[in-house]
Structure 1
Amino acid sequence: MSAATANSIAYSARTRSRSIDRARSRSIARALTKLDPPASDLEGFDKEIRFEWIGHTAAFDARTGEAEVLPSYVVPPAFAEWGVELTDWQSQCSTAVSGRALYAKDARFVPVVGCEADASTVYDAEVDLISVDSMAIEEGCYSAHYVDSKGHETVTHCVTTAPGTTEPRMRVRAKHRADGLGTVRIWREALDDEFTDGGVLASSCGGNSAVAKFAEGARDAFDVARRVDPSYDIPSDAVALPAGIWFRVVVNEDGSYDSELGYAHEESKQHLVSARARAGADESSVDVSFHRSRTA
């Protein structure tokens, strides 16, 4: 087996002394691209992400990685009788570029026992319209900062497997508040269908087995990452999750933050990382990087 080959492309809103050193040291020489990608780049990006993505989502403690249990009032009584706690919501995300913004509509479905219906029942839906002003994009991956519908400054990441490397194409997303309060929400998703803005809902059986429930599994991310990308140094304060997913969120008193999302996909031997660092209390000085490796 040949050595792992890695490409890490760094983007910067402007040069500054405070940066993600590891990402910079692994960068390939290339012209830096500012946040706020041009229309020509957005057209290609839209073709990569304009789909219905199905999977599961869960919320995790930002420090311990413990999964949040679903509220009892949405869980079928059978699970309580069996003594089973649920941590994953079945989910569907409608994603597209809309003008100068990323449109993402996230639906969570009412949990069921087995396959009780052909289509899922939506429990709730959340719509984000994220301006590209604070966004960086790279081959279906993105990183952004925006204010959500509740008025919270939010940091989001998305890392997506390369075309043709997994069937279906898969991605992992993360959201957390920029002030570090609350949980880190994680989605693991597979490309399911053409964009319908949620007009066609996923089956209540959970859709593709590649993105089955994940939050209850073994927290194996660091082990998987070492196998598929041995030369990559995951920060010591990162949090390992199941299914090869890891994250790191560090927020300082001055409002600066370091935020990372990683996804090691063992079957395709890929390791994907999105990192975003802010120097102060606003987004005027931000470093963003993407890392993608694949072992031959």
Structure 2
Amino acid sequence: MAIFSVNVTTSPSPSILQRRRFSTLSSSTHLLLHGSLLQNRKFGVFELLGFRPFSFNWRRRTLMCAANQDAKEAVKEIGETDGLIGVLGEVDSLQVHDKSIEAWSQFARRISGEWDGFGADFSNQGSTIELPESVVPEAYREWEVKVFDWQTQCPTLANPEDQVLEYKSIQLLPTVGCEADAATIYSSDERKVGGENSGVTAFAYQSSGSYVAVWQKKGDLIELEYCLINPQDFESRVRIIQHIRVSNDTEMKLQGIRVFREQWYGPFRNGDQLGGCAIRDSAFASTPPMNASDIAGIWQGSKAVTTFGTGNTEILRELFDDKTQNSVRDGENNVLLPKQLWCSLEQNKDGETLSVVGWLLDHGQAITSNCIFSSTAELKEISIALETRALERVV
């Protein structure tokens, strides 16, 4: 009998060996595959599933066979094994896809509804900006009362299946007393994420309802919109929008800040019903900003992250838990805002630009979010972290 060698696939790598079993397939499909492979080796796994036979890319392994017929059977068995590994890979891919769908579905449930509250504009140094005199009621002017806050609505609807998010940021004309239920719309900014005619250039989200969006505005202006859900109260959130000017595709400068403090008021009604005097919050722009010492020190927490680059052009991304991070803050070089909020936009020695927003919560916790841009103003990374102040403080 002739002796010869055949190059076939090596043993599966550890990552392949660690793949899940056929638990995601139905029990009947599992038994069909298992039984058929045992009873009739001449059928490959993909033939059982209805796929046409195709070739496999094999790594080198030398198999000594005693006869031509034995070699053919050996090759056939190896092909069936590779086919089984391929099916397992497809199952794993489906599991990841299913998890992504579930994460978006949870996000859609958290984000959808009527979010009512107040919004205000601040300078790039954190100074409050008064509302135009033309929109302020005569009574306020007679009493010499300055108005800094818009009453706002943000009807939001996310499709749990098609990964499309639509919402409107509505500013209402100021009213005197408890006349908010009859307020008139001053402006409405409609935005869409996903699907056709979406104006977002990058969008990262968590199942909690938090997200970060990058919007390209006219000319060299962009907006970084951070929406942070309070992990201690899922019906409370803040949206911090940084208005940024990009010069020569390299230099990024903060032009101004817009802040919304919002409460979930009820299911989505497209803004037809206003919370009015039932809103569980109040105007905040003229309240004192937070103290720098409140965020100074060492912070530790888990960070969920997604990266952007030329290799992946997807706009909509889920944020995945990465690792525990340590952050050292001195409390300086931050724009300090009311209601325990802060933000910053700085360039490091490598020319990268780091945008940061934060919300100091109760019990020594903070939720923060970062965007990192390259030296050519290209988005590299988005992250959201839940942090706790460490015992050690920076002196």
Into which bin does the TM-score normalised by the smaller protein fall?
A: 0.7 to 0.9
Q: In the TM superposition, what are the counterparts of 1:1-296 in structure 2 within 5 Å? A: 38-62=100-124, 64-98=125-159, 99-116=162-179, 118-131=181-194, 134-138=202-206, 139-148=208-217, 152-162=221-231, 165-166=232-233, 169-179=235-245, 180=253, 182-203=255-276, 205=277, 207-208=279-280, 211-220=281-290, 222-225=292-295, 233-234=328-329, 236-250=332-346, 257-266=353-362, 270-283=365-378, 285-293=379-387
Q: Write the letter of the residue equivalent to 2:382.
A: V
The 1:258/1:117 distance shift into structure 2, 3 A limit, reads closer
Equivalent-residue separation in structure 1 for 2:376 and 2:384 (angstroms): 23
Cα pair distance change 1:226/1:114, threshold 3 Å:
farther
Q: Which has the higher contact order (CA 8 A, sep 6+)?
A: 1
Native 8 Å contact 1:221 1:246 kept in 2: no
TM-fit CA distance, 1:294:
5.7
- Equivalent residues of 2:226, 2:369 under 8 A apart: yes
Q: Over alpha carbons, which structure has the higher Rg?
A: 2
Alpha carbons of 1:256 and 1:136: their partners in 2 closer, same or farther (altered >3 Å)? same
Contact 1:178 1:257 in 2 (8 A): no
- Provide closer, same or farther for how the CA distance between residues 181 and 270 of structure 1 changes in structure 2, counting only shifts above 3 A: closer
> With structure 1 as the length reference, what TM-score do the two structures score?
0.73
- What is the aligned partner in structure 2 of residue 14 from structure 1? none
Query: What CA distance in whole angstroms lies between the structure 1 residues aligned with 2:123 and 2:136?
Result: 21
* Residues 213 and 129 (structure 1), Cα distance of their counterparts in 2 relative to 1, 3 Å cut: same
Structure 2 length-normalised TM: 0.56
Q: Does the CA contact (< 8 Å) of 1:221 and 1:245 recur in 2?
A: no
Give the drift of 1:264.
Answer: 1.2
The RMSD of aligned alpha carbons is 3.1
- How many residues end up aligned between the 2 structures? 249
Q: Give the conservation status (yes or no) of the 8 Å contact 2:201–2:216.
A: no
- One-letter amino acid of the structure 2 residue matched with residue 76 of structure 1: P
Identity within the alignment, %: 27
More helix by share: 2
Amino acid in the other structure paired with 1:58: A
Tell me the distance in 2 between the aligned counterparts of 1:286 and 1:122.
38
Distance in 2 between residues matched to 1:122 and 1:244, nearest whole Å: 29
Change (3 A) 1:200 1:151: farther
**Could you say if the C-alpha distance between residues 59 and 223 of structure 1 is closer, same or farther in structure 2, counting changes exceeding 3 Å?**
same
Q: Which structure 1 residue ranges, 4+ long, deviate > 4 Å from structure 2? A: 148-152, 223-227, 229-232
Gaps (5+ residues) in structure 2? 1-98, 195-199, 246-252, 301-325, 390-395
Amino acid in the other structure paired with 2:373? R
